[in-house]
Amino acid sequence: MGRIIWGIILIGIGSLFFGQNMGWLSMGAGDYIGRFWPVILVIIGLAILGDVFKSTIFRFLIIVVIIIIFALPFIFDIPAASNGSVKSSKASFVLDNAKNLDLSINAGAVEMNIDDQVGSSKAVEASLSSKYLTLKSSEKKRDDSLKVDLTMKKDTNNMFQFNNISNKFKVHINNSLDINSLAIDAGASTINADFSVFKIENIDMNTGATTLNLKFGNKSAKQNVSIDSGASTLNIKVPKESGVQLQYDGGLATKNLPDDFDSIAKGLYQSANYGSATKQIVFDVNLGAATLNITRY
């Protein structure tokens, strides 16, 4: 009985998130589960009691209740909850004499946008809009080098809120800085980043179920980009002049590469101009069930 209950619950939760992604629901799956998670716990408890009492009718009623709960948002137009108010937290770091930047971002499930700012006295500016997350930051300076850490922390007063949360995170980086390293660790997110305006050497991204829209430039002689992602869609733009190498471990992923990319070995691709190009981009991509699209511009 316990296996059946768990199976139905997992199928129901998966169906809710699938319906959300397909646009069939007027509310987020997390929002709906957030309202009913106490009921789901009660049902699991009743399922355990059902095993004790061996009542067929009792078990049947539990299964019916579970099916009704997960079917409701597909049948009725249930509005999203509006609990809590959106709070804004910000962080900024003075440019001073900094010329080199190491930036680390540790985020949860967010919509993240990374771009440049011109002529600012700030090295990095970040802002987060969220109901339940706050932005924490730290910096270390040494000579002309600046290290910045941006981390999101959950509000401890809302530890048991599972509502569908819209977290919007913006990062502006002074384009006069040379970026030695950029590390991003994020959950289920949408990340839009224009790196084409920066002189950047190393990028390391570790994400969950994510949509990545990344644009790269040719201001650096060589850019090393490591991406480890789960169920994702990766849209990558690279300059026509840049030589590109792709080390690719795709699992269940599909890929769409430019016509000038050649297969060198299993999982290794190079553009026709990779060896002769003065500007190179080296990708090391590890994906789960994902789609990888690389285009030239």
Q: Are residues 199 and 255 in the same domain?
A: yes
The residue ranking higher by pLDDT, 208 or 283, is 283
Last residue of a domain, one of 38, 55, 75: 75
Q: Are residues 175 and 201 in the same domain?
A: yes
d(CA 163, CA 32): 7
Where residue 198 falls among pLDDT bands split at 50, 70, 90?
very high
Give CA–CA dist 182/209, Å, rounded: 20
Q: Are residues 53 and 153 in the same domain?
A: no
**Residue 95's pLDDT band (boundaries 50, 70, 90)?**
very high
Tell me whether residue 19 is in a domain: yes
Decide if 81 is inside a domain. Answer: no
d(CA 120, CA 117): 6
Mean pLDDT, the chain, integer: 83
* Confidence band for 159, pLDDT divided at 50, 70 and 90: very low
198 and 254 part of one domain: yes
Name the residue with higher pLDDT: 30 or 90: 90
Q: Which residue has the higher pLDDT, 148 or 12?
A: 148
DSSP SS3 for 221? coil
Residue 45 sits in the same domain as residue 165: no
Q: Is residue 80 part of a domain?
A: no
Give residue 46's domain range: 2-75
Judgement on whether residues 265 and 223 belong to the same structural domain of the protein: yes
> For residues 58 and 25, which has the higher predicted lDDT (pLDDT)?
58
pTM value surpassing 0.75: no
Does residue 69 share a domain with residue 101?
no
Is there a single domain that holds both residue 105 and residue 135? yes
Q: What is the pLDDT of residues 102-157, one digit of tens each?
A: 999 999 888 999 999 877 899 999 999 988 789 999 999 999 999 999 999 876 55
- pLDDT greater at residue 19 or residue 137: 137
Does some domain include residue 56?
A: yes
- The torsion angle over the Cα atoms of residues 282, 169, 191 and 146, rounded to 10 degrees, is 0
Which of residues 20, 50, 75 is at a domain's end? 75
104 plus 64 within the same structural domain: no
Number of domains in the chain: 2
114 and 47 assigned to the same domain: no
d(CA 225, CA 246): 10
pLDDT(43) > 70: no
- What pLDDT is stored for residue 251 in this prediction? 72
Share of the chain above pLDDT 70, in %: 74
| Burial (CB count within 10 angstroms: exposed 0-12, middle 13-18, buried 19+), residue 64 | exposed
Give residue 239's identity as a one-letter amino acid code. Answer: P
Is 82 inside a domain boundary?
Answer: no
Q: Which residue has the higher pLDDT, 226 or 4?
A: 226
Residue 261 and residue 169 in one domain: yes
Instruction: Examine the fold and report which residue of 47, 75, 103 is the final residue of a domain before the chain moves on.
Output: 75
- Tell me if 114 is assigned to some domain: yes
Residue 47's pLDDT is 61
Average pLDDT over residues 268-280: 97
Provide the residue type at 63 as one letter: I
176 assigned to some structural domain: yes
DSSP secondary structure, 248-283, as one string? EE-TT-EEE--TTEEEEETTEEEETTTTT-SSEEEE
Query: Does the pLDDT of residue 61 top 90, yes or no?
Result: no
Asked if residue 277 and residue 153 are part of one domain, the reply reads yes
| Residue at 65 is within a domain | yes
If you average pLDDT over residues 13-19, what whole number do you get? Answer: 66
